[in-house]
Amino acid sequence: MADYVYGPGRTHLFVPGPVNIPDPVIRAMNRQNEDYRSPAVPALTKILLEDVKKIFKTTSGTPFIIPTTGTGAWESALTNTLSPGDRIVSFLIGQFSLLWIDQQQRLGFNVDVVESDWGRGADLDVLEAKLRQDTAHTIKAIAIVHNETATGVTNNLATVRKLLDAYRHPALVLVDGVSSICALDFRMDEWGVDVALTGSQKALSMPTGLGIVCASPKALEASKTAKSVRVFFDWKDYLKFYKMGTYWPYTPSIQLLYGLRAALDLLEEEGLDNVIKRHTRLGTATRLAVEAWGLKNCTQKEEWFSNTVTAVVVPSYIDSGEIVKHAWKRYNLSLGLGLNKIAGKVFRIGHLGNLNEPAVSHYAIRCLEVMLKEERQAFAAFRSGFKVLDSRSQKPSERPACFS
């Protein structure tokens, strides 16, 4: 790749996934393959399935650990609970909710899209109106992204449940918790979530490769009559092998299972509530830094602020993609690009997973302060007609190339 520049030292990941992998997880995965039909792997899996329920805060849910990504987990949630033509109310608030909606449409569901400006949360007033009008219960599911990674927006799931209960509506609640579960407050049982899902490369701080889905008893019951075609993601196959005590309908990733064991042990050691508090501190500190820089948060209201990712709006004279590029080339610092309609307008700071305060404040924030200062100085000099950087090539009519 022409833009690739090797930089000595460790790359510092501050994208909102994949995230830094802690050393105990790396060590746990450093092992040979094993026969997954041997007694050891089912014994490991049995305990994992019980312990992974804790990250969803459920006692009644049934988890599925699937060798896939979040996109596969999406498909698993949809095809196991719904039939083609079923009406889904789905909220479009950013790139990842857009992609999930695209999947819903391609799978043949009748998707009732509720769109908000990017930077705003799901419009729950519209949801209330739809529930009030839907006396025939044609809405079969509500699909919502808990934390929209593209814009740094967190939605209020408790309110979704309150609305459904207020109108005694039986719709299933399907939640993408890819960038929220294990970092933000998530209460599957209390909020009446029917299917929740996450990915191993986010707050679990593992490599990509596991899609973890948890289904409520209501969702399992719905799966018995759902007519969507599914093979690889069919919960029925998993449940069959659960009953047999072998757990796996096909070959799992042995190394990722041991990595998951280590990741869950770390969460248990710190305490999930403490993990959530730590992410609150990291999110708050990052937003305060953005405010001190004189920049705006893409998220338009405090009630939607995310504690796992902050999307920063840059001045119109700056291409945010150049900031991301420069951070990589100069500091080995990986930041998130602006996606789709906000490409070039925002960059994203991920502060989730195995991170502490010094990592965020002393490295990511400090590096960004230096880069933004350089950019502003260059632009100020350019506007004043001064020579900037290379006087032999810089012309008054050109944008300063301080990120070249």
Euclidean distance between CA atoms 144 and 100, whole angstroms: 9
Q: 364 vs 333, 354, 369, CA distance in Å?
A: 7, 14, 9
- Helices (H), ranges, 271-337: 272-292, 320-331
With H, G, I as helix, E, B as strand and everything else as coil, classify residue 28: helix
Structure tokens at 44: 């490991």
- DSSP letter for each residue of 324-374: HHHHHHHH-EEEEEP-GGGTTTEEEEE--SS--HHIIIIIIIHHHHHHHHH
Residues 6+ apart with CB under 8 A from 261: 28, 44, 47, 48
* Known binding-site residue numbers for substrate: 348
Structure tokens at 63: 């988890």
Sheet holding 211-215, edge to edge: 62-66, 211-215, 195-199, 172-176, 139-145, 87-92, 110-115
Instruction: Identify whether the C-beta of residue 13 lies closer than 8 Å to the C-beta of residue 201.
Output: no
* Known binding-site residue numbers: 348
CB atoms within 10 A of CB 176: 28
Euclidean distance between CA atoms 75 and 27, whole angstroms: 31
